Amino acid sequence: MRADRLVATLLLMQARGQVTAAEVAGELEVSLATARRDLEALSAAGVPVYPQPGRGGGWRLVGRARTDLSGLTSSEAQALFLLVGPAAAGSPEVRAALRKLVRALPETFREGAQAAADAVVVDVAGWGAVGRDRPGLVEVLQEAVVRRLRVELVYEGRGRSRSERVVEPWGLVDKDEVWYLVAGTGAGERTFRVDRVVSARVTDEVFARPADFDLSAAWDRVVSEVERRRSTVSAVVSVEARYVSVLRDQFGRHCEVLEDVDGRARLRLSAPAPLMIAQVLAGWGALVEVVESDGVRAELARLGSELVARYG
């Protein structure tokens, strides 16, 4: 997007004072000709940009002109990138714009802004629960992620047992209003549900996040493992191809198209138990045929018998 490039070019000039077309092309990952056209376009649009020819020359802002964005404080820049960062997860365009804006910030602000941009991933796909209130500890943990400070947690496990531990908060994930903390521990990388954190105290101990850590990739691994555990039982079904999209909506990641021939599709449906597949398919009546899975067929027969007994 050209508007995105022009803003990034202007901010780059503000940060460096003077740039060459080659430097703009390298930073913004465009051709040299495109960089020159963008610089000329800024000048033609009335932005006080002018070229300085000769050895050591380049493009400058007249009188070191600046835009309002340059007046951001360090904390304001972090707050801005904390808001923009989650949107970058699902948009290549936003990711590219974010990289350019980080590069264009004053050098002393860049590390904090990048840390804020990397602090949160928003995953819009739900695991069945909606309408939860945002845990009050999210803001505390966000600050610890951005400032790279260790946190003392009191955590309540599934069995209501509590444990105390010191963790290095690497990032937060908002999955359909359920928040998760991805953190480094003495036992390696771990994931904690924030609504199970009883208390969190941010210490003054600074840590270094692993250089190769990527929050989006780490969350993908967590999701893959959870989905694997939720897919221990599968059934192959046959249905008219026009209904495939509906079954995909009902089973999400657990619906795999095996074949689509002559208007009829075969799908593999997965769930933790046969009953969970049967409960969904029962509403389809004879529209869906279970081709493989004695367990699911047995559950469907049992459900059918119960319905006939009550309503027959």
pLDDT at residue 84 greater than cutoff 70: no
What does the alpha-carbon distance between residue 9 and residue 24 come to, in Å, rounded to a whole number?
7
**What is the model's pLDDT at position 272?**
87
**Range of lowest pLDDT (10-14, 198-202, 222-226):** 10-14
pLDDT at residue 30 greater than cutoff 60: yes
Considering the domain boundaries, does residue 219 fall inside one?
A: no
pLDDT at residue 253 greater than cutoff 70: yes
Residue after which a domain boundary falls, among 213, 244, 273? 213
**What is the model's pLDDT at position 68?**
44
**What is the model's pLDDT at position 110?**
64
List beta partners, residue 300: none
Which position has the higher pLDDT, 233 or 65? 233
Residues 6+ apart with CB under 8 A from 97: 1, 4, 8
Residue after which a domain boundary falls, among 179, 213, 247? 213
Q: How many domains does the chain have?
A: 4
What does the alpha-carbon distance between residue 301 and residue 296 come to, in Å, rounded to a whole number?
9
List beta partners, residue 235: 269
Residue after which a domain boundary falls, among 159, 179, 213? 213
pLDDT at residue 294 greater than cutoff 70: yes
Do residues 136 and 169 both lie within one domain? yes
Average pLDDT value for residue range 160-168: 90
Do residues 47 and 100 both lie within one domain? no
**What is the model's pLDDT at position 65?**
47
C-beta neighbour count of 309 within 10 angstroms: 8
Considering the domain boundaries, does residue 218 fall inside one?
A: no
Do residues 129 and 174 both lie within one domain? yes
Do residues 131 and 207 both lie within one domain? yes
Do residues 190 and 243 both lie within one domain? no
Give the domain range for residue 83. Answer: 72-117
Q: 165 and 185 in contact (C-beta within 8 Å)?
A: yes
Do residues 246 and 186 both lie within one domain? no
Average pLDDT value for residue range 199-221: 91
The letter for the amino acid at 269 is: L
Considering the domain boundaries, does residue 222 fall inside one?
A: no
Q: Given the DSSP bridges, would you call strands 120-123 and 162-175 parallel, antiparallel or unpaired?
A: parallel
pLDDT at residue 72 greater than cutoff 70: no
Which position has the higher pLDDT, 185 or 127? 185
Structure tokens at 96: 């590219």
Report pLDDT digits (tens) over 139-161: 889 889 888 999 999 999 877 78
Do residues 20 and 102 both lie within one domain? no
Considering the domain boundaries, does residue 305 fall inside one?
A: yes
**What is the model's pLDDT at position 158?**
76
Do residues 62 and 79 both lie within one domain? no
Phi, psi of 133 (to 5 degrees): -75, 145
Which position has the higher pLDDT, 270 or 49? 270
Mean pLDDT is highest, among 2-6, 28-32, 68-72, for 28-32
Do residues 57 and 106 both lie within one domain? no
Do residues 129 and 188 both lie within one domain? yes
Q: 115 and 77 in contact (C-beta within 8 Å)?
A: no
Considering the domain boundaries, does residue 221 fall inside one?
A: no
Share of the chain above pLDDT 70, in %: 73
CATH code: domain of residue 14: 1.10.10.10
Do residues 197 and 263 both lie within one domain? no
Do residues 59 and 80 both lie within one domain? no
Q: Between 107-117 and 92-104, two packed helices, what is the crossing angle to 10 degrees?
A: 150
Considering the domain boundaries, does residue 83 fall inside one?
A: yes
> Would you call 166 helix, strand, or coil by DSSP?
strand
**Range of lowest pLDDT (176-180, 207-211, 236-240, 258-262):** 176-180
Considering the domain boundaries, does residue 225 fall inside one?
A: no
Share of the chain above pLDDT 90, in %: 33
